[in-house]
Structure formats: structure tokens, C-alpha cells
Amino acid sequence: MAPKRTSKPKVPKPTNPEGGRAPKAEPAEPASAPDPAAWSGVMTPPASGVKIRMYRQGHGDCFLLAFRRDDGKPFYMLIDCGMKKGSKLQCDITEVAENIRDATGGHLNLVAITHEHEDHVSGFKSEHAVFDGLTIDKLWLAWTEDLDNELADRLRTRYKDTLLGLVAAAGQLEGLGARDRSDTRVHRIIDSLLGFELSDEDRGLAATDPAKIKGRTNKEGILVVKRRADEREGTVYLRPHTKPLTVPGVHGVRFFVLGPPENEASLKDMDPQGEEFHFATAEERFFLAAFASSPPTVQEAHQPFESRYRIPVAKAADHEHRAFFKEFYGLGNPPAAGDDDRSWRRIDGDWLRSSEQFAIRMSSYINNTSLVMAIELPRTKKVLLFVGDAQRGNWVSWHKQEWDSRSGLANGEEVTVTDLMGRTVFYKVGHHGSHNATMNKGGLQDMAQGEFAGQFVAMIPANEQWALTTNDPPWRHPLDAIYKAILKKAKGRVFVMDRKLKPPAAQVLSGAEWQAFLANSTQNDLFYEFTVED
Ligand SMILES: [Zn+2]
């Protein structure tokens, strides 16, 4: 039989760095009825520079950029379109999709999708009725999505094994959940993290017919766009530190690709605190995968005790000593009122609790596959930095290389990441402002230097109230320390999806400077907009 424990096991402390007690969210704004007249019409590009529109759909990214082409026509670029289920703010994601259509006259010159999480791609699928009707010239994806890339393929296989293992673990935890509160909690965490990776439909499929989910998950959203683009100029998979990209008709604007790193170790490097967040090791993955799809003999090989020392729960109920098991192992399920929950003596669910770690690692790993772009404007050389949800390993890798003649730059030109950072006047904050997605050294502190120092503006796509109250442990999106650092750097010129702009104290920014900032900004319930002049 299973060995007894002498003391009640401790529930493992949540290692999710988002975790801990919920800080207070900013008070929600009083809801007023959204006014569609405020956002109708075509999005006109500025005379020079770029207009950036951040939609306010809820937890997720959706950014529309408008450049003016040399012939005076607009060039529209969309970066991501997704939202976590249940995180809606004032407007529906359908209104977002329809607005993209109306604002662009139904023509997107370019779409870039940073990574395959729900909150970055779900809109393409849920609003495919709109996206199917758009003209989309071209799609940019990270090299990690390239089916012909060997490393990408290897990583995908492991990711799928872990994913299937987690679906199996979640299923088993559901069975145990009634007996033990800690199981219920772990189950909830895995469930919410799996929500990023798989649709409800795929969750069912993963449990019953795992072979069928290959290449599905959030990729269906990506496919909606890919189908449109492949009818025109196609899909390009971007690799970091290659020749800066240009787009037709928009003279001089250059796109430097910084990430994701083409390096497995960097992709698995997620946390700046030195905590142990590695993608599942081979053994661990095998352990999980064995549970998902392997024959019973393989599963048996991964049990902690040989079968003759074990009495499964189902058998204990009919066992000659069932009264003993009932009394001391909590087989009266759930325990009667006033009775102790004695299920802690059982170890049938113990290994499942470690699956929380896998779920966190898997989610962070996909974040690290984010496509990262520095967009350089031609005249002033100002830079806009879009980092998706890139985490530590992605950020650190940017600095390992520079651009020069070997990366296709002409006339002896050399560009370093520090140089691009120094010219960054617009920052799309990484991973909704979370703790490990905005580096300070080699990141925020290096942005907007010298002549660019006074011009820094940031956008944070986060719904703090939702992040804190519907997740357990609560997600600090944005993390207060990061929000404050960005706010300080930008002297208050920070758009957060869930709140109105607030002028800083006069000693931080003069009234005239704030007015100048507002003159380049638009605020309504559907989006925030800002123009970076060139
Ligand atoms: Zn995200």
C-alpha cells in the first residue's frame, strides 16, 4: 500500500512570479455608454511619421499603424489582434475588427503576428467573418512559425508533448479536485494557462484524439491571415539580426528584427530573478507525455512505486481493509461535514501538482518566441519598439549581435541595439507590463537618450482589474514597479488600455508640454492613438 505521511503535506508555494497577494487595482472608471461616432471613419496617416492606434478590447494586443506612402496613399500595418476570454473592457472585439476594416478601407498592407497566444491572435479567428473579407498583402511571422525550420520543428514537437501532458494532468486533477483544495487550485492555474494555448474544442480533442491537434491550437487564427496574404505577396518568416526590412512605397522606414533568438537556451530563459524556470527537461516531459499517450507499460515505468506496493483508489473501496482506508485515507468522498479531510495521506495526485510548473514554463516559453521589431523612421531616426510578450532570454539575446555590412547594411553603417534603444521614443510595453518582460538594464533605462530624451511615450495593453481579480494567483498586469518606472521615464505620457490619461504634476511636465502631447493623441472607448512625428 501507499506509504503514509507523518505530517500534512505543505501546499507548494505558488512559484508563478505573477503571484502573491493581490495589490489594489486602480479604481475602475465609471462606465458610460461608448459612442461609436467617436471612432468612425478612415484612419489618416500623418504627413510624416506614423500614427499608432492601440485598441482597447481587453487583455490582449491589437495595434494598427498608419504610414504615409511616397505617393500620398496610406500604408496600414496591423500587429496582433487578440484578447483573453472574459477580459473585455468597454467595447467588443467585433467592433475592433470592424473598425480595422473601416479605418483601412478594407486593405491591410501588412500584418505582423508576434506569437501564437490567444491574447494576440484570437480575434483573427473569432472575427474571421471580417478578416476573410479584407485584402491583406503580406504576413510577417517569427522564424519559430516556419515549418521548414529544423530548430522550430524540434521545439514544436516538445511543446506539443508538454501540452498534451498538461491536458491529461488537468483532466486527472479535475477528478481529484473534490478531495483536496490544493488540487483544485493547481487545476485552476493549469486551466487558465492552457486557455492561452488551446481553444475549448481543441482541449476536448487533445484528451480524446491527441494526434489531431497537431498544428492547430491558436494557429487557426494565424491561418486566417495567412490564407489572405498567401493570395497576394505571401508570408515571410523573420530572423533576428538579418538585413533590416523595408516596405513598398514607404521610403526610408526600416524594420530591424531583434527577436526571437535563434537559440534554444535563450528561448527558455524567462525570469530575471534567477528562479528556476526552465522548459521541461527531457525526463519531465517524458513523464508528462507518457501520461498523455503512451501504452500502460510505459506509464508504469514512471510510477514512483512498483505496482505490488500500490493500492489504487478504485481498488481500495473494495479492499478487505476498506474500513481502514475509509477512515484514514478519506475515501468517504467528499468528507462528511465536521470530518477532517484525510485525503492528504494519499499520493495518487502528487505528481500532478508539479504540472503547475510545466504550465508556467510553457506559457513563458511561447511568450519568448515573440517577434520583436524596432521600426526606424527615416528623417529623425526615431525608433518605435514593439516587443510582443518577449521575456528575459529574448531581451538579453538582442545585444549579442549588431547590424553591419554582413547583415546587408551599406556604406560602412553599423547599428547596435543600444543605439536603437537610445533612439526609442515609443515603446509597446512587453507582456502587458508583467515583471519579466521589460528589462531595465539593456532595456528601459537605455531608451530615449540624448536628443530623444524628452520624447518618450509608451502604450500598455492591460486590463488590471481583470488580471487581478479573475486569476489565481492574481496577475500583476501591469506590475506596479514597472508601470511607475515607465510613467516616470515618459513623464506621464503613458497610455494604459484600461484607464484615462492623467496629466502629471506641473514640475514633471509643463502644461504646454502636456497639451502638445494631447494634440498628438486621440482617446475614445475603442482605442487610443498617438502620432510619432518624423
Ligand atoms: Zn500577451
Q: Which residue has the higher pLDDT, 10 or 512?
A: 512
Distance 319 CA to ligand 1 centre (A): 50
Say if pTM beats, i.e. exceeds, 0.85. Answer: no
CA 120 – ligand 1 centroid, Å: 6
Per-residue pLDDT tens for 210-235?
A: 666 654 557 789 999 999 999 999 99
Query: How remote is the CA of residue 70 from the centroid of ligand 1, in Å?
Result: 34
CA of 432 to the centre of ligand 1 (A): 6
What is the whole-number distance in angstroms between the Cα of residue 118 and the centre of ligand 1? Answer: 8
Tell me, what's the pLDDT at 501? 96
Type of residue at 344: W
- Which string of b and e fits 442-465 if b means at least 16 CB within 10 Å? ebbebbbeeebeebbbbbbbbbbb
Expressed in angstroms and rounded, the spacing between residue 471 Cα and the centre of ligand 1 is 14
How many angstroms separate the CA atoms of 15 and 364, rounded?
13
**391 with 244: CB under 8 angstroms?**
no
Ligand 1 centroid – CA 174 distance (Å) = 26
- What pLDDT, on a 0 to 100 scale, did the predictor assign at position 333? 56
Task: Tell how far the Cα of 84 is from the centroid of ligand 1, in angstroms.
Answer: 8
- DSSP per-residue string spanning 294-321: --HHHHHHT-SS-GGG---HHHHTTSTT
- Angle in degrees, 0-180, between the axes of helices 181-197 and 150-176, rounded to the nearest 10: 150
Query: In 309-391, where does DSSP find H-type helix?
Result: 313-316, 322-328, 350-353, 355-368
The domains located in the chain, with CATH, are 45-150+216-275+363-532 (3.60.15.10), 151-215+276-362 (no CATH)
CA dihedral sign of residues 474, 475, 478, 480? positive
- Is the confidence at residue 80, as pLDDT, over 80? yes
Q: Is a pLDDT exceeding 50 seen at residue 274?
A: no
Q: How far is the CA of 477 from the centre of ligand 1 (A)?
A: 10
Mean pLDDT of 170-184: 64
Q: What is the pLDDT of residue 258?
A: 97
Indicate if the pLDDT at residue 160 is higher than 50: yes
Q: How far apart are CA 208 and CA 292, in angstroms?
A: 10
Does the structure show a pLDDT above 50 at 153?
Answer: yes
pLDDT tier at 414, thresholds 50, 70, 90: very high
Which region among 2-6, 40-44, 296-300, 433-437 has the lowest average model confidence (pLDDT)? 2-6
Q: What is the mean pLDDT of residues 484-511?
A: 96
Residue 328 CA, ligand 1 centroid: distance in Å: 45
How many helices and strands, by DSSP H and E, does the chain display?
Answer: 19, 16
Q: How close is the Cα of 294 to the center of ligand 1, in Å? A: 33
Q: In whole angstroms, what is the distance from residue 14 CA to residue 354 CA? A: 11
Rounded distance from Cα 310 to ligand 1 centre (Å): 43
506-516: average pLDDT? 95
130 Cα: distance to centroid of ligand 1 (angstroms): 22
pLDDT at 279: 43
Ligand 1 center–CA 370 separation, angstroms: 10
How far is the centre of ligand 1, averaged over its atoms, from the C-alpha of 479 (Å)? 14
pLDDT single digits (tens) 430-480: 999 998 899 998 999 999 999 999 999 999 999 999 999 988 788 899 999
In percent, how much of the chain has pLDDT > 90?
57
Q: Measured in angstroms, how far is the CA atom of residue 80 from the centroid of ligand 1?
A: 10
| pLDDT band, very low/low/confident/very high, at 322 (cuts 50, 70, 90) | confident
Q: Which residues surround ligand 1, an ion (CB under 5 A)?
A: 119, 389
What pLDDT does 299 receive? Answer: 60
CA–CA gap between residue 481 and residue 438 (Å, rounded): 11
Structure-model confidence comparison of residues 297 and 314, the more confident one = 314
Distance 504 CA to ligand 1 centre (A): 28
* 390 Cα to the center of ligand 1, angstroms: 9
Residue 137's pLDDT is what? 98
Ligand 1 centroid vs 121 CA: distance in angstroms?
Answer: 10
Tens-digit pLDDT profile for residues 230-249: 999 999 999 999 999 999 99
Q: 431 C-alpha to center of ligand 1: Å?
A: 5
- pLDDT value at 19 more than 60: no
Model confidence at 285, in pLDDT bands (50, 70, 90)?
low
Whole-number Å distance, alpha carbon 126 to ligand 1 midpoint, is 17
Helix H or strand E encompassing 115: none
Q: What's the CA-to-centroid distance between 248 and ligand 1, angstroms?
A: 29
CA of 61 to the centre of ligand 1 (A): 7
